[in-house]
Structure 1
Amino acid sequence: MALASGEDSPGGFHMSAAERAVADVRAQVSAEEWATRVDLAACYRLIAHFGWDDLVFTHISARVPGTHDFLINPYGLMFEEVTASNLVRVDLAGNKTLPSPYEINPAGYTIHSAIHEVREDAGCVLHLHTMAGIAVSAQRKGLLPISQQSTFILLSLSYHDYEGIALNQEEKGRLQADLGNTRHMILRNHGLLTVGRTISDAFMTMYSLQRSCEIQIMAQAGGEPLLAIPESVLATVPEYVKQVTRGAGTGLVWPALLRKMDRIDPGYRE
């Protein structure tokens, strides 16, 4: 039940105007949207847990089921502060389609609206500025086929050249063209991006992409010549993935990750 203006929360803390405004969001949305909000908030908390956040400056979006609207983080909140209720719902033009006291990152709007506009399969778009990701993005040859993790990524990887902070709406067309139908993108001199049919897809593919970058930087730091995985082995990866996940894909791991969040940081569900 939503609290009246100025009323204390059940825990005894005085609710701010922003907290009161989002307190009854669950009552305003469908069960499908609420489930998406919970998963997306968990994804933000997981990114913070793994240390992949960049203060308040990166973003993850998820399409609201049955619409072209998408949910994205409230600009100014740390990732560990994101909850199912305080996610902001906007349309492809950036207009809020559910009242919220929060604004969204304008660069985040440019990137996410560009992808949701042209990729019907983009249930979730995840963008990070990790140190390892940016380091690899600055390397001329990009991601190298030197680890098992990288073999998953190289099946569907694209690159987009740096054009400055993503505020220019004209960049959207070039971003869309460079992404094409790929699931992973390295934004040159900028960071990493993944596109998933579901939130779990986007998170798990980012997990592999981030690990691939970490491994590459560590291997290069060793100073020895690097051993590339043969093309003949790379060609076997799709069938290997199906066998390892028993056909469940990224859904095999996501429930375990949610259980982990419920143990250590359950506030995402609020």
Structure 2
Amino acid sequence: MTNTNETMSPEAIAEAEARTRHDLAALYRLIAHFRMTDLVDTHISARLPGTPDHFLINRYGVLFHEMQPGDLVKIDPSGKAVNASDASERVNAAGFTIHSAVHMARHDLACVIHTHTADGIAVSCMEEGLLPISQHALKFYGHLGYHDYEGIALDLDERDRLVASLGSHRAMILRNHGLLAAGRTIAEAFMNIYFLERACQAQVKALSGGRKLSLPSAAVCERTAAQFNREEGLAHAQMAWESALRLID
């Protein structure tokens, strides 16, 4: 799923929305399967192809493991429901701020995931951030943004600063808050949050051992990051996504 400005027929737009709703609901359930939820707080969004910056986000109050395509609310960049039937549906205001910032500025990204896991929050509180101590972490070497904590993300003025912190990356650590990962497809966004979460888990465990850590050389770190970020990564992400879906069948 990609975003383009090309003209799409109403039928094609409806088909794309149905497919996106299905995949995004599945992603919510996968995030629940891997225990990356925080009750009703945190959110995942997906851009709708062929629309003027419309995107889907969860109806506030639905738990991730029970998410259905109909539980996703279509909103515009101002946070208003696009469909009259959705007008009474409530979305998380902080979720809107974070996700609308990325979707409005980064049309190359189709999906944005934000989490509050214990290990993600722990690493977000560490001054050094994500350390290049695991293969999972090296996926993000030189490709990870950091955003300083400003309080609960209710101020729309923060959107510009969020976008500046993300830069050209597809993943970001929100200091003292949690993790954010995005992708050109829903599958790629899933793989990015999965690897970022696993990297944080490994770091917390490694630091808890109280022993001196072994760090690869900068050259090895750069080489590994390049291996992860080659173009065929999209095909690998799709394969992993299709495999992961069997976990929630």
* TM value normalised by structure 2: 0.90
Alignment of 1:182-221 (within 5 A): 182-221=169-208
| Displacement over 4 Å in runs of 4+ | none
Q: Which has the larger radius of gyration?
A: 1
Q: 1:240: how far off?
A: 3.1
- Matched ranges for 1:4-83 at <5 A: 30-67=14-51, 68-83=53-68
Secondary structure in 2 matching 1:253 = helix
- Residue in structure 1 matching 2:238, options 251, 261, 266: 251
Local SS of the residue matching 1:72: strand
- State the 1:257 CA deviation: 1.3
The one-letter amino acid of 1:69's match is H
Shift in Å, 1:81:
1.9
1:126-160 residue CA offsets vs partner (Å, 9 max, x unmatched): 00000000000000000000000000022410100
- Residue 117 of structure 2 corresponds to which residue in structure 1? 130
Matched, 1:147 2:134: yes
Q: Per the alignment, in what secondary structure is the counterpart of residue 88 of structure 1?
A: strand
1:267 alignment partner in structure 2 = none
* Partners of 1:221 and 1:93 in 2: CA distance: 43
How far off its partner does 1:85 sit? 1.5
Cα RMSD after superposing both structures: 1.8
C-alpha distance in 2 between matches for 1:165 and 1:241: 33
Give the deviation of 1:102 after TM superposition: 2.0
Q: Equivalent residue for 1:121?
A: 108
- The 1:89/1:138 distance shift into structure 2, 3 A limit, reads same
Percent same amino acid among aligned pairs?
Answer: 49
So what's the TM-score if we normalise by structure 1? 0.83
Q: CA deviation at 1:171?
A: 0.8
**1:95 equivalent in alignment to 2:67:** no
Q: CA-to-partner distance for each residue in 1:65-94, whole Å, 9 max, x for gaps? A: 112100000001111121111200000011
Q: Whole-Å Cα distance in 1 between the matches of residues 239 and 70 of structure 2?
A: 26
User: CA 1:173/1:226 → structure 2, altered by over 3 Å: closer, same or farther?
Assistant: same
Q: Is residue 145–residue 229 contact of structure 1 (8 Å, CA) maintained in 2? A: yes
Q: Aligned residue pairs: how many?
A: 235
Tell me the equivalent position of 2:5.
none
Amino acid of the structure 2 residue aligned with 1:121: D
8 Å contact kept, 2:141–2:222: no
Question: Deviations 1:169-200 (Å, cap 9, x if unpaired)?
Answer: 11111111111111110000000001111111
Tell me the CA shift for residue 62 of structure 1. Answer: 0.1
1:172 counterpart residue number: 159
Describe the shift of the 1:94–1:161 C-alpha distance in structure 2 as closer, same or farther (beyond 3 A).
Answer: same
- Unaligned runs of at least 5 residues, structure 2: 1-10
Q: Alpha carbons of 1:180 and 1:214: their partners in 2 closer, same or farther (altered >3 Å)?
A: same
Q: In the aligned structure 2, how far is the partner of 1:65 from the partner of 1:148?
A: 34
